[in-house]
């Protein structure tokens, strides 16, 4: 996420009650988690295992829980709870704000777009032209919806990431500051959930079509012209490339890549990244030919065991 305007390290240390270890006048433009961090961003690290990775990332400012030498061009901020500090920073600029109206006054709605009764459009939402937002859809703050998009009843766009940190036996919420971005010509079925990104965006590519009851986790990026069948469970931080076809009730793990044009048959579960252009089935998935060959062997198992017992 971007800050509403440039912030100095000094301003950041005041918000999070931390201690600058370098130039207090250094500037930051936004913040992001490690996997999507950009130059100009604040990020954080709270475990020695990741110190190296974060200190060598593109981040310009790092909130850290140990005094270490600052890498060239980076400013460190010392804080004994970097996760909490990062959360404070998100909340400073993206805290949940209530809305009195079904369509917030700060939402921008395009030409010929229809918002049906009971649809909720949060603060700072942008919706393009020629869309239909059906009854009882909920669009959370800051979501971006393109042109010619249809969202069916009961679907929820931009709700919080499912993202917690365990501390002394209890879970504390990581506040989500990212957005859900739905591009042109997308259709979303009824009762789907597209969560917002944690610090970056969850993105649905142009022309992709969802059936009912689908779930897309935070920070996941789905390409163009995909078909996503009913009850798809797509976890967070995953990338689905263009022209992928997913049949009903498929589960897809987090942090993986589904290659362009892959086809995943119904009730399958994908645990690892898979190549494009191939049809898959099973739980975990394998190429569909192999799956069916295995099924034939499985059918032979009872006779095999019986014949071996006779010997």
| Residues involved in catalysis | 218
Residue pair 291/282 in contact (Cβ under 8 Å)? The answer is yes
Select from 33, 41, 46, 185 the one that contacts a second copy (CB under 8 A).
185
Q: Mark residues 140-179: x for contact with a second copy by CB under 8 A, - for none.
A: x---------x-xxxxx--xx-x-x----xxx-x------
Q: Residues touching a second copy: how many (CB under 8 A)?
A: 73
Residues in a beta bridge with 222: 204, 240
Residues from 254 through 273 that contact a second copy (CB under 8 A): 266-267, 269
Does the footprint of a second copy cover residue 112 (CB under 8 A)? Answer: no
Cα 3 from Cα 226, distance rounded (Å) = 32
Choice from 189, 197, 205, 223 touching a second copy (CB under 8 A): 189
Q: How far is CA 242 from CA 180, 205, 213, 266, in A?
A: 18, 8, 21, 19
Closer residue to a second copy, CB minimum distance, 62 or 188: 188
Alpha helices in the chain (DSSP H): 9-16, 48-55, 82-94, 288-310
Contact between 202 and a second copy per CB under 8 A: no
Cα(first)–Cα(last) distance of the chain, in Å? 69
DSSP letter at 35 equals G
- Work out how close the CB of 302 gets to a second copy at its nearest, in angstroms, rounded to a whole number: 5
Signed CA dihedral, 150, 107, 206, 148: sign only: positive
Q: Does 209 bind a second copy (CB under 8 A)?
A: yes
5 binds a second copy (CB under 8 A): no
Q: Considering the rule CB under 8 A, would residue 276 count as an interface residue with a second copy?
A: no
Selected binder of a second copy within 64, 235, 237, 240 (CB under 8 A): 235
| Identity of the residue, 72 or 303, whose beta carbon is nearer to a second copy in the bound complex | 303
Give the residues across from 204 on adjacent strands: 182, 222
CA distance 115 to 102: 10
Query: Which among 68, 72, 93 has a CA at the least distance from the CA of 11?
Result: 93
With binding defined as CB under 8 A, does residue 95 bind a second copy? Answer: no
Please calculate the CA angle 165-19-95 and round it to the nearest 5 degrees. 45
169 CB contacts (<8 Å, ≥6 apart)?
none
CA distance 245 to 284: 17
Distance between CA atoms of 159 and 153, rounded to whole angstroms?
A: 16
User: Considering only residues 84, 179, 196, 213, which one is a binding residue for a second copy as defined by CB under 8 A?
Assistant: 213
Longest dimension (CA), the chain: 84
Binding window for a second copy (CB under 8 A); candidates: 21-29, 53-61, 97-105, 272-280: 97-105
**Residues in 114-143 that interact with a second copy by CB under 8 A:** 114, 116-118, 120, 122, 132, 134-138, 140
Rounded least distance, CB 239 to a second copy, Å? 18
- With CB under 8 A as the contact rule, the residue among 193, 198, 262, 285 that binds a second copy is 193
Least distance (Å) between residue 173 CB and a second copy: 7
Q: Which residues within the stretch 15-74 sit at the binding site for a second copy (CB under 8 A)?
A: none
Closest C-alpha among 33, 41, 72 to residue 174 = 33
Q: Out of 27, 38, 249, 260, which residue is the one contacting a second copy (CB under 8 A)? A: 249
Instruction: In angstroms, give the least distance from the CB of 182 to a second copy.
Output: 15
């Amino acid at each position: 996420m971007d800050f509403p305007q440039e912030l100095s390290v000094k301003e950041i240390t005041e918000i999070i009650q931390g201690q600058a270890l370098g130039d207090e006048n250094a500037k930051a433009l936004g913040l992001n988690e490690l996997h999507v961090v950009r130059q100009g961003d604040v990020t954080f690290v709270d475990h020695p295992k990741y110190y190296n990775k974060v200190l060598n990332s593109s981040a310009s400012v790092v909130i850290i829980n140990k005094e270490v030498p600052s890498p060239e061009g980076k400013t460190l901020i010392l804080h004994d709870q970097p996760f909490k500090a990062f959360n404070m920073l998100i909340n400073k600029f993206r805290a949940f704000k209530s809305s009195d109206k079904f369509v917030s006054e700060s939402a921008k709605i395009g030409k010929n777009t229809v918002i049906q009764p009971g649809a909720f459009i949060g603060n700072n939402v942008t919706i393009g032209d020629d869309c239909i937002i059906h009854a009882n859809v909920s669009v959370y703050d800051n979501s971006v919806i393109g042109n010619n998009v249809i969202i069916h009843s009961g679907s929820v766009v931009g709700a919080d990431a499912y993202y917690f940190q365990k501390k002394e036996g209890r879970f504390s919420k990581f506040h989500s500051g990212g957005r859900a971005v739905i591009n042109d010509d997308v259709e979303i079925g009824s009762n789907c959930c597209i969560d917002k990104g944690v610090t970056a965006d969850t993105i649905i590519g142009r022309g992709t079509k969802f059936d009912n009851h689908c779930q897309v986790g935070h920070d996941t990026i789905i390409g163009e012209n995909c078909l996503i069948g009913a009850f798809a469970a797509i976890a967070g931080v995953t990338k689905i490339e263009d022209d992928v076809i997913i049949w009903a009730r498929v589960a897809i793990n987090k942090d993986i890549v589904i290659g362009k044009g892959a086809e995943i048959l119904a009730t399958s579960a994908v645990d690892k990244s898979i190549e494009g252009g191939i049809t898959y089935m099973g739980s975990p998935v394998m190429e569909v030919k192999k799956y069916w060959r295995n099924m034939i062997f499985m059918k032979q198992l009872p006779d095999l065991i019986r014949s071996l017992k006779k010997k």
